[in-house]
């Protein structure tokens, strides 16, 4: 499977964005899906993850209450809705896929073996 993230852009503090991850060359059904981000000069970090069936989700503390991850397996798509954006949310956002079992989520970067190109989110006034 190949992944491509999109939906990034320039947004003012307090604004919202919806990031999309489209899969091709295969299906996301067998995969736990995740979103990660990497700010300039920093390591890539976990943002959100969703189980194969979409029933279990987990978020990094810094986005809890501000982000919602979802997936539409029939459309081979994973979404990340982000609200109340802050300047510190500025980063390149990546979606990733990793093999997992039913009900599992994964917040470790090492558990993911398929990565898409990222999409840049800039939060600035």
pLDDT tens digits for range 95-122: 999 998 888 999 999 999 999 999 999 9
Residue 108 has what pLDDT? 94
The dihedrals phi and psi of 104, each to the nearest 5 degrees, come to -90, 145
d(CA 61, CA 9): 23
d(CA 65, CA 101): 26
Beta bridge partners of 95: 35
Residue 122 has what pLDDT? 98
pLDDT band for 53, please (50, 70, 90 cuts). Answer: very high
Residue 21 has what pLDDT? 98
Share the mean pLDDT of the chain: 96
Residue 3 has what pLDDT? 97
d(CA 88, CA 76): 30
């Amino acid at each position: 499977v190949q992944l491509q993230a999109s939906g990034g852009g320039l947004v003012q503090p307090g604004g919202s964005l919806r990031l999309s991850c489209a899969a091709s060359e295969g299906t996301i059904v067998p995969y736990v899906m995740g979103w990660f981000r990497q700010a300039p000069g920093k390591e890539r970090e976990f943002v959100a993850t969703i189980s194969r069936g979409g029933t279990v989700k987990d978020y990094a503390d810094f986005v809890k209450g501000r982000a919602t991850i979802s997936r539409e397996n029939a459309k081979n798509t994973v979404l990340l809705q982000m609200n109340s954006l802050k300047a510190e949310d500025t980063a390149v956002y990546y979606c990733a896929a990793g093999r997992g079992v039913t009900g599992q989520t994964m917040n470790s970067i090492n558990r993911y073996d398929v990565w898409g190109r990222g999409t840049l989110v800039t939060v600035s006034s």
